[in-house]
Every structure is written in C-alpha cells, then in structure tokens.
Amino acid sequence: MPRFESLDPDVRLMLKVRDDDAAAFEELVLRHQNRLLTVFEHWAPCRGSAEDLAQEVFLRIYRARKQYTPDARFTTWLYTIANNVAHNARRKQARRHESQLPGNPNESGGVSMENLAQAASGQMPTRQLDRAEMSQVVRQAIEALSERQRMALILSKFEHMSYADIAITMDLSESAVKSLLTRARVNLRGLLEPYMAEGE
C-alpha cells in the first residue's frame, strides 16, 4: 500500500531488500537489532540466547523478502515474526524441561507466580533496593507472566505499539489485547507491591 511506503522509511528499506539490496538489509538490522535484543532479553535466559533469537528473526525476514508486501508498518511485521520466534523457542524450552525438571512449571515456562509472590511477601525489603536489584525484581515479575501477557506488555510498554498493532502482531482482537494488558498490570502490581512499600 502506498501509504506505508510513503510514511514508513523501514518499509522503503524492506522494499529494497526485496529487490536484493544487501546494504538496505544491513541498515534494517542496524536500526532494529538493539530494540529486538531488548525484547528477547525478557524471554531468554542470557544475552547470548537473546542474540540467537534476534538473529533468527532477521534470517526469517531475509528468507521471506521476496514475499514481502507493505500492508502494515515494518515494525508490526518485524514483531509478528519475533512473537512467532519467541513462541517457538518457549515450546522447545518447555519440551526440554518436561523431561528434566520435576514439579509443575507455569504456562510460560518461567518463574511461578506463586513462588515469586511468596518470595516477595517473605522477604519484604528493609532497605531501598538499588537500581540493579529493582531491575532484577521487575524482570522476574515480567518473566512470571504468561507468555501472551508478557509479549503484549513488552510491545506496549517497551515498543510503544498501539493496541491495533499489537493485535495484528499477536493475531488477536484489540479487546483481547486490552484484556491481556489489564491482567498483566494487575499481576505485576501484586508481585511488585511489597517492593514499592518503602517508596521505590
């Protein structure tokens, strides 16, 4: 659609990639790799794993370049692919853990909401947390969310995507996205409340 071509410089770059322009692809990677890494760092156990997932996204984009059509903003397409890559990685990780770990992991394969809530209530901070510690607490709380809540929250808060774009990215209705975000915020508030009691 001409509208996206004229308004979105990334779409123009991707159309050049479709025509096998290697420099345009390199520019797209440079423009988006850090933001993509930030998203995947909420999914992956380490920076190296996040880098592998980001590389997989760009590899998929390159392989699909000939089928690319500019019917949405480039970032919507990018994060749709990222969502699929993250979901596939989670499924593989869950399959590995099924045979290795006892107990009942939560649906996201991350930290149990109940365990994190117990840790928060049982270890009420008696001092202010420093920035690094608070960042880790927030990260653990985000990891405790379900897979879909986490992705919706990341796209909304970190990528500043609209409900409509998140809906397209996650193949959901806008009302489902709003519901996911509401539940995510309620869950996060419950988990982080003990750490906010001292004015954090």
* pLDDT tens by residue, the chain, 200 residues: 456 666 789 999 999 999 999 999 999 999 999 989 888 887 776 788 889 999 999 999 999 999 999 888 899 999 999 999 988 887 877 666 554 444 444 444 444 445 544 444 444 444 455 666 777 777 778 888 888 898 899 899 888 889 999 999 898 999 999 999 999 999 888 888 777 655 44
Shortest CA distance to 192 belongs to which of 105, 129, 146, 109? Answer: 129
Sign of CA dihedral 144, 149, 152, 156: negative
pLDDT of residue 107: 43
Amino acid found at 50: A
The domain spanning residue 171 has which CATH number?
1.10.10.10
Looking at the fold, whether 97 and 112 belong to one and the same domain comes out as no
Looking at the fold, whether 72 and 120 belong to one and the same domain comes out as no
pLDDT of residue 71: 86
Beta strands in the chain (DSSP E): none
Amino acid found at 10: D
Looking at the fold, whether 4 and 35 belong to one and the same domain comes out as yes
8 A C-beta contact, residue 54 and residue 36: yes
Looking at the fold, whether 77 and 116 belong to one and the same domain comes out as no
Looking at the fold, whether 162 and 190 belong to one and the same domain comes out as yes
Angle formed by the axes of helices 22-40 and 9-18, nearest 10°: 120
Domain C-terminal end among 50, 85, 102? 102
Domain C-terminal end among 67, 102, 137? 102
124 alpha-carbon distance from chain centroid: 29
pLDDT of residue 157: 86
Beta strands in 40-144 (DSSP E): none
Looking at the fold, whether 58 and 142 belong to one and the same domain comes out as no
Q: In which domain, by residue range, is 153 found?
A: 108-200
Q: How many domains does the structure of the chain reveal?
A: 2
Domain C-terminal end among 82, 102, 122? 102
Shortest CA distance to 110 belongs to which of 37, 187, 42, 170? Answer: 42
